[in-house]
Structure 1
């Protein structure tokens, strides 16, 4: 048994990289299960819903209940449905994000001049035209949100630009920052995770590879944090950062040393 009642695990860079399982990831997950620690997967990927990771991890022997998965897309959908009902949301993002929003009964509009709310996110088809439409949608004091702050996304070949890069462009033309980022490390994300787990933050361990999202989420919410070095952060980056994890692990496999 362990003093931790629950663990929030990042996915990309912690359990997988691209389509490949990271070495030791299965051992880490099984160690948490053996210790009786509840598990929540939390990805800042805004293109995936809760069902995706079950299908992705099942071939590797990791069983995932969709009810124990959050993504920045599902958190954003739940938040907008609750706080902006019957308002039209203009989305800078992909079709998968739009589908997740629609499944949560969020009303979407493709007309920037009809936008009541603007949501910025990852869009592989982002263009000058998209940015121009975003500028029109952001006129006035329309609420402006982002799904996640990740400037880059790790893939098998390295990295590609992420939501944070697109949000930076939207901020530049609009002359203002988003009113809130809804994925990690926001208070919205922390509340969504705690609601799913039903435990006290002080008995929760957050494990992830990003200082500014995973570790910042845990630090802000009063959780214990563990940085893994299998993703975006290396020791040089850690040494230069003001964000400090409670623990540093070579991989998720080493989580057993904390239990």
Structure 2
């Protein structure tokens, strides 16, 4: 575990794998920390150099006052990658992480070899919807949203198991201001025009039971990029890397091989 001082925020990050390994950057969703990727990492090929981090206001990173701008989240990721020599990477972003991926690809295409847009969109939700969620967090904390979030995150089958509590606890133990701040960043983002200018290998991954970013939204987003691929994971919601880690890891590995990353 390490902390990177970026000035207005200090980010908790972790790097795994050899210094000369094929570089991969994972950026997680709203309300989760870098442990989101734990289920799939043992299933990926050996020898990768993997960067994960907690967004501002999440996990063990510091929590500046809300709201945040998407540009700040993109710059956080850019600075961390530059700091540790991550370039020509396979970038895997889930939900808000996928928005950060799109923003960074437009700003610094030199950092990316290929991009995975998982359970995300060029635009997610409406300003009114996000304003309501931010108000709920400000008045009742994340706990006020937790049950509804679990319904969007996970399939019906997953709700029958004990592991649901792990992810509910991860959500509710995030900083209220961090959740509200990143919600504001999503609310203010519409990447349709800029994502349509991108030309890099792109894979979209969707969960069939995703209540946050439905498959049609993911497909519509990756279709903005010529030559992109799309994969639907059944029996999974917003976090298919948790519900179907074997399939998720296999799809990522196949994409790495198809693009010559490994």
Q: Specify the structure having the higher radius of gyration (Cα).
A: 1
**TM-score, normalization by structure 2:** 0.31
**TM-score, normalization by structure 1:** 0.32
